[in-house]
Structure 1
Amino acid sequence: MKAILADDHALFRDGFALLLKQLEADAEVLEASSLEEAILQAQQHPEADLLLLDLSMPGMDGVDSVQQVLERHPDIPVVILSASESRPQVEALMEIGVAGFIPKSSSSQVMFSALRLVLSGGVYIPPQLLGSAGPPIPDDSVLARLTDRQREVLRLLAGGRTNKQICRELDLSEGTVKVHLNAVYRVLGVANRTEAALLARRLHLVM
């Protein structure tokens, strides 16, 4: 595993690097202390398995900065590390396609589980979202209105894929993927990607 760890606190980087090496003994951890350094590391190591970003380090401008990173490096799963647990901010980050949000207050066991999930191709949805009531679960007659293709798009979305990644995996244009997503939202009665992903998990459409 090769991970890029971006945080402006050296002590935190040292501690988290140890955690990554406990997860995989041969883990290679590339460190950065600012957004600029993180982007440079991603450019130099496009094969990285993981990009961990602190939201409050120099150069970061919240969701907008994360969006830029996702657009530049769509093939590297991005996980956010933050001392803030603002629900609107977490929802906004999940909506743009991050692979996970890990509060810095999390226990090492929670961090291990989150990282394992992301490295296996999944998306880690934090407890404050999973614990919400969320959209109501539709009955079978409603789910039957989803086409096989729409179900596949939903499964990939819930697995943390961005639109561009879904395009590549299903060999579809971005416009077609957006049409399928809008149809999924309409059938399921949800407003956005986050609600769709949560509902897919509650329906066990993705692990």
Structure 2
Amino acid sequence: MKLVVADDHTLFRNGLVLLLKSQVADCEALEADSLDAALAQAAAAPDVRLALLDLDMPGMDGVAGIRRFVAQYPDVPVVVLTGAEAPQQIQQVLGAGASGFIPKSSTPAVMLSAIRLVFAGGTYVPPQMLSGALPVTSAAPSHAGGRERASSMLTERQMQVLRLMAQGKLNKLICRELDIEAGTVKAHIASIFRVLDVVNRTEAVVQAKELGLL
């Protein structure tokens, strides 16, 4: 797997590259220390499969940098790395087109799991940050009365996304079928995760079936 690893902190970037190369088969990391350098790396390697971007490196300008990368390389999933663990940033990051939000304080195991999830077409948001990232209307549903509560918390569009997830369709296909932007799909999936109290697509589908939503 070829991926861009962009971070202006050399020590962190080198450590992440070593981790990826030791744990991911056939991993080739293209390093960059700014957004422009990351864009150049992606331009030089059309077979890049994933981009890890530091939110605060030179050229990013916050979520504007995410939008710029996604606009130029819409088929390359973006995972945002950040030293700031502000839940309110998650909605902005997903809305800009990113597929994942990983705090730099995460353990190596969590980082690897998150990267693999995004590479497989999923969306990663730290579960402990979900409640602060999205509007909270009530607690996650229990099995007793869970279907009614979940139904009331999920919009019709989110239910459509959930049904397509259950069919095994990745974000790109969901975008096409529903004629919506990638960032919107990711925001809907993050909301579904919060409502169902899960952290990945498989758990979401299993929980939805147990509650009778599917």
> TM-score, normalized by length of structure 2?
0.71
Residues 167/119 of structure 1: CA separation in 2 closer, same or farther (3 Å cut): closer
- Aligned position for 1:82: 82
- Aligned position for 1:150: 160
Q: Deviations over 1:99-151 (max 9, x none)?
A: 111111111111121112122221111133335584445735948x959x924
1:99 touches 1:122 (CA, 8 Å); kept in 2?
yes
Count of residues paired in the alignment: 187
Q: Residues of 2 paired with 1:105 and 1:167: CA distance? A: 32
CA RMSD of aligned residues (A): 3.5
Residues 120/151 of structure 1: CA separation in 2 closer, same or farther (3 Å cut): closer
- How far apart are residue 89 of structure 1 and its match? 1.2
Which residues of structure 2 form unaligned runs of 5+?
208-214
In the TM superposition, 1:7-156 aligns within 5 A as 7-130=7-130, 134-136=136-138, 137=141, 139=147, 142=151, 150-151=160-161, 155=165
Residues 165/57 of structure 1: CA separation in 2 closer, same or farther (3 Å cut): farther
Amino acid at match of 1:150: Q
Residues 128/152 of structure 1: CA separation in 2 closer, same or farther (3 Å cut): closer
Amino acid at match of 1:45: A
Residues 160/128 of structure 1: CA separation in 2 closer, same or farther (3 Å cut): farther
Residues 27/206 of structure 1: CA separation in 2 closer, same or farther (3 Å cut): farther
- How far apart are residue 81 of structure 1 and its match? 0.8
Residues 101/167 of structure 1: CA separation in 2 closer, same or farther (3 Å cut): closer
- Aligned position for 2:191: 195
> TM-score, normalized by length of structure 1?
0.73
- How far apart are residue 64 of structure 1 and its match? 1.4
Q: Residues of 2 paired with 1:63 and 1:12: CA distance? A: 21
- State the identity %: 42
Which residues of structure 1 form unaligned runs of 5+?
185-191
Q: Residues of 2 paired with 1:119 and 1:76: CA distance? A: 9
